[in-house]
Chains A and B, each alone.
Chain A
Amino acid sequence: MTFGPAFWEVVSLSLQVAVVATLGALPFALALAWVLARRSFWGHSLLNGLVHLPLVLPPVVTGYLLLLLFGRQGPVGALLFDWFGITLAFRWTGAALAAAVMAFPLMVRAIRLGIEAVDRGTEQAAATLGASPTRVFGTITLPLIAPSVLAGAVLGFAKALGEFGATITFVAAIPGQTQTIPSAIYALLQVPGQEGDVVALVVVSIVLAMGALLLSEWLARRMAQRVAA
């Protein structure tokens, strides 16, 4: 397998799942982070708890809940299939959903911290200059929290890349369909004599994670320079 088509299939599928999960979850994470940071309402703590649930629940439980909700017979899964013909369970899209759900709390946390650090006074100044709330968000808030959004995205991407428990419960580990790097490593470890493949996948994991971190550091530094210079 080492560096053969099956190997690259696992790597590219993992990347695909992690990228889709991160980009798909990002707008929702941004919206929720904003709501949690800026709005007070009845059920605020409940919503906060709900968002963080995947962080503290055993991943297998999260995966099972996803199966109940998004399985072909599940309330959401049935609707998605009837209306759009979409099946999530045991597909790569399901793997992306599982990864997104697991990465979500990390993204929300990072972005929320960023929003809370923005000086409300700066936004008020923009409003007195005639900027509507939408324009204030787009021209003041978003540029100022960009480093936090980036940090959240990288954290989410790393989490999505490494997601195992919820993914294997929700979509199993079907080669070429839902078998990502962690589940491939796990499968390879079940059979003696494939340590070479395992090491190759481990190295790829490390390279991807480090690459993402370095890229985000570099981008964050550039953004910080724009603000400080």
Chain B
Amino acid sequence: MLEVDIRAQLGALHLNVRFQVPSGVTVLFGASGAGKTSVVNAIAGLLRPDAGRIALGGRVLFDGATQVLPHRRKVGYVFQDARLFPHMTVEQNLAYGGRHRFDDLVELLGLRGLLARRPAGLSGGEKQRVALARALMSAPDVLLLDEPLAALDGPRKAEVLPYLQALARSAGVPVVYVTHAMAEVIQLADRIVIMDAGSVAMQGLLEAVLADPASARFFAKRDGGAILPCTVARHDAGVTVLASAAGEVLLPGTLGTIGGPMRLSVPAQDVILSKVPLEGQSALNMLEAKITEIGPLPNGNLAVSLMAGAAPLWAEVTPMSVAKLGLAPGQVVHAVFKATAVGPV
């Protein structure tokens, strides 16, 4: 358990953050300049807050009077720019902080062939894999990842992400993952802390936060919307059938392994509401849902919150449509959507 409760004046930005990271992956999400990196630096001891408290597993790292030096904190930190030691080989880099799970991590991250190389000869993706293994080999009590994929191009991102997924879970320590990319959030986060201008705007379990339409304004235009935790039930005629708390959901393509978990993103703009079951349309999914709430969105549209089975979803609808259909809380509607974005967990 990592507890963070800090205040700091950083130029024009007033940082005032309070959150807890139990186990699993907590994503620190927010626009550039929201103060995410400063929070992570404070946890690592690279930045001293003005006041507050940081504790890791009951060990106080900072409380105004005490400021434990970075090298005594046992934090594993993966920086955006890898920060490998240029004068050492990959193996020397890896072993710098210890050889915890050395062979294991070398295998997992596919570094066997790189051990004798120097950082200058590595690709961006390889550098980040080395940095990740190096941080874990120091047997940290918390793993901090500051936009580890931001400096990589699309294919390199896709190369490193599966490693992150596998390791974030197997690390066995709390993970703080800084990003402003929705895809990484969906694929990695158990919990999310949304930061806005130095403060925590929303926080909680990912499903709960994304099911709240208020979270939409922190995401890119098309990214707002609930996510649906599912299990792969079966593959059928080029379609993947998923079981969820909302019922069965279909996904084009043969994806995942049967019985394995999968996360579905249901962008609010892609959800169509209908009072009668729709027939003769191409979207694969139609769920019966009850309207729980209708509220305004910052862009003038309305957010219609739904409960489909036991799963919360929401749809972005124009005020005109709401009026025309006479939608109101308590009504049962049919939510039609085309599921595309997927994140296996």
Residues of A within 8 A of B (CB): 119, 121-122, 124-133, 136, 139-140, 143-144, 226-229
Chain B residue contacts of A124, Cβ below 8 A:
44, 46, 70, 83
Q: Is B190 located at the chain interface by the 8 A CB criterion?
A: no
Chain B interface helix/strand/loop/mixed? loop
Chain B residue contacts of A227, Cβ below 8 A:
86-87, 118, 120
List 6 additional contacts besides A129-B138, A226-B87; criterion CB under 8 Å: A121-B81, A127-B71, A128-B76, A133-B69, A143-B87, A144-B86
Name the one of A125, A130, A144, A229 contacting B79, with C-beta atoms under 8 angstroms. A125
Q: For residue B95, which residue of chain A has the nearest CB?
A: A129
Nearest CB of chain B from residue A170's CB, rounded to whole Å: 41
Q: For residue A146, which residue of chain B has the nearest CB?
A: B87
Q: Is B295 located at the chain interface by the 8 A CB criterion?
A: no
Name the one of B46, B81, B120, B138 contacting A130, with C-beta atoms under 8 angstroms. B138
* Given contacts A144-B86, A227-B87, A126 and B96 within 8 Å (CB-CB): yes
Q: For residue B98, which residue of chain A has the nearest CB?
A: A130
Q: Is B154 located at the chain interface by the 8 A CB criterion?
A: no
Cβ-defined contact, A131 with B97, below 8 A: yes
Chain B residue contacts of A144, Cβ below 8 A:
86-87
Residues of B within 8 A of A (CB): 44-46, 69-77, 79, 81, 83-87, 96-98, 118, 120-121, 134-135, 138
Cβ-defined contact, B87 with A121, below 8 A: no
Nearest CB of chain B from residue A150's CB, rounded to whole Å: 14
- The answer for the CA separation of A212 and B8 in the assembled complex, in Å, is 52
Chain A residue contacts of B86, Cβ below 8 A:
122, 144, 227-228
Nearest CB of chain B from residue A117's CB, rounded to whole Å: 12
- The answer for the CA separation of A119 and B82 in the assembled complex, in Å, is 12
Chain A residue contacts of B45, Cβ below 8 A:
127-128
Cβ-defined contact, A131 with B71, below 8 A: yes
Cβ-defined contact, A229 with B121, below 8 A: yes
Cβ-defined contact, B71 with A228, below 8 A: no
Question: Which of A127, A128, A130, A144 gathers the greatest number of chain B CB atoms within 10 Å?
Answer: A128
Cβ-defined contact, B85 with A140, below 8 A: yes
Chain A residue contacts of B70, Cβ below 8 A:
124, 127-128
Q: For residue A140, which residue of chain B has the nearest CB?
A: B85
